[in-house]
A and B are shown apart, each in its own frame.
Chain A
Amino acid sequence: MEDTTRLTNDQSIKLFIQRDYSEGTAVKFQERFPPELEGKIDRAKFTDIIRHINSIYEDAEGLSCKTFMENCCACLTGYLLLLCMPTHYEKCVKRAARYISDENDHTLNPKGIFMIDPMEKGLRCIEVCITNNRR
């Protein structure tokens, strides 16, 4: 039976974890375990990674006093303040990128899985590449 997810060649498979819009337009990725990863990685571990990424973005998009103060100060300076210092959202995006990079190094790469930072795709999906041939 043809493996329908074989996209580039026999050695690698790409899959894209889509966004979960059931709670609105806030950044949240679907926490279901893709069947292509069956056998490669523990189900709970992978879902945990996605859940952690979701929690970082939830923190980024949360309405808090800190965000309010940041935006008020920015507005009062004619939004010139935003040119000088990174916003809370940007810091969270960097935190997510660092987390994904760490997980790639420690957990995923040894199993032949590469996870790509969703910011590279405009937060539309998380691209996961699986290499098949292992020497």
Chain B
Amino acid sequence: MVKQWEILESKNRFYCDGRCLTGRDIGVFIFALILITITSGLFFGFDCPYLTYRLSPAVPVFAAILFLSVICFIFRTACSDPGILPRATPDEVLYLERSNITSSPQSVALPGRTIEVQMHTGHVIQLKFCSTCKIFRPPRVSHCSLCDACIANFDHHCPWVGNCVGLRNYRYFYSFLMSLSFLCIYILAFNIINIVLRAQDKPSFADAIRDTPATIVEALICFFSIWSVLGLWGYHTYLICRSVTTNEDIKDTWNTSRRGAHMKNPFSRGNPCLNCFAALCGPLPPSFLNLRAIVTPDNNNINMSPTRMMNTINIDETRQYQLDDNNYQRHSSPVPPHSDRQQNRYPSYDYV
């Protein structure tokens, strides 16, 4: 039985029978994990025993909480669906070609057409056609060439988590940056405290350092990481408050002075607190992909459950309806009494 994740056209990797997905290149992600684990391991192994004895047992407890948070958030960011939009079915493409929803004439091929959307703030946004996914990209959606998919609220593709950061995993990414910043600062601070305390007991600094050589290694790793991690966390806090994605910031989409007229960001809710609240605690849609549904001959083109078909007034009508693009009439195959697709649609624990 083939499941949807096995035939998905994007360049993602899938694990646990479609429950988790990551980007294609996870080498840097594995490296980041190893670095974090080794640094924390050295801290627990070399600094904590002495600090527990000298200061309090709370030191390793807080460190453990921070470390577990970092691991939890990095896995959550790396392994969740960032908001991949499913590609258009052939029927949908045909409908778009023949419809007049775009502002361009029908003689222009789809990739050359754009849809203009007049927003409530007065902006006119142009929606471009994505040739790979065959959809008109909604606002804030961008096609990631590394993952080969259109991602909702595309922020950026992060090699450190081996996945795109988009609508559905942005808050996990932000939490990961926040907890990693705290962990770095915590380890660095206690490394310094460790050396200082030991130096008070020993005749010289050199002796103290010789007692715990790992401390210097950890301190160096943390010192060099802190600038980038803390910097990135600060940058994303600034972006969240303005309700701008990294992609939009790089392209300077909402720059008011360049366009002459005063252009406010139409996605901002007015004040920074509300923007933060919406970005971090707002509602989250489930995955658009339904990765673990079983592929049936119907759902590649029509996406309709056989049970619904069987319930219609005229069975023959519906059998005739199940034609593929080549107008080949499918012979009526035994339809399962309750479609697997329907059953798999919303299992409670299946959200990636």
Binding site for B on A (CB under 8 A): 4-5, 7-9, 11-12, 14-16, 18-19, 21-25, 27, 60-63, 67-68, 71-72, 75, 78-80, 82-90, 93-94, 97, 101, 104-105, 109-110, 112, 114, 116, 119-125, 127, 129, 131, 133-135
- Pairwise interchain contact B135-A124, C-beta atoms closer than 8 A: yes
What residues of chain B lie closer than 8 Å to A9, measured between beta carbons? 320, 323, 327
Q: Is B85 an interface residue (CB 8 A)?
A: yes
Known: A85-B348, A90-B346. A63 touches B317 (CB 8 A): no
- Pairwise interchain contact A90-B76, C-beta atoms closer than 8 A: no
Q: Is B335 an interface residue (CB 8 A)?
A: no
Interface class of chain B by DSSP: loop
Give chain B nearest CB distance to A62 CB in angstroms: 7
What residues of chain B lie closer than 8 Å to A116, measured between beta carbons? 303-304
What residues of chain A lie closer than 8 Å to B125, measured between beta carbons? 21
- Pairwise interchain contact A71-B280, C-beta atoms closer than 8 A: yes
What residues of chain B lie closer than 8 Å to A127, measured between beta carbons? 91-92, 303
Binds A, one of B190-198, B251-259, B306-314: B306-314
- Pairwise interchain contact B317-A11, C-beta atoms closer than 8 A: yes
**A–B complex contacts, Cβ < 8 Å, 12 sampled:** A5-B99, A16-B96, A21-B119, A61-B282, A75-B281, A86-B348, A87-B284, A109-B313, A116-B304, A119-B286, A122-B289, A127-B91
Q: Which residue from B117, B288, B316, B349 sits with its C-beta under 8 Å from A122?
A: B288
Known: A89-B284, A89-B285. A133 touches B317 (CB 8 A): yes
Taking CB atoms and an 8 Å cut-off, the chain B residues in 88-103 that contact chain A are 88-89, 91-92, 94-96, 98-99, 101
- Kindly state the separation between the CA atoms of A60 and B327 in the bound complex, as whole angstroms: 40
Chain B residue nearest to A87 (CB atoms) is B284
Give chain B nearest CB distance to A81 CB in angstroms: 12
What residues of chain A lie closer than 8 Å to B282, measured between beta carbons? 61, 63, 67, 71
Chain A residue nearest to B348 (CB atoms) is A86
What residues of chain A lie closer than 8 Å to B72, measured between beta carbons? 78-80
Q: Is B345 an interface residue (CB 8 A)?
A: yes
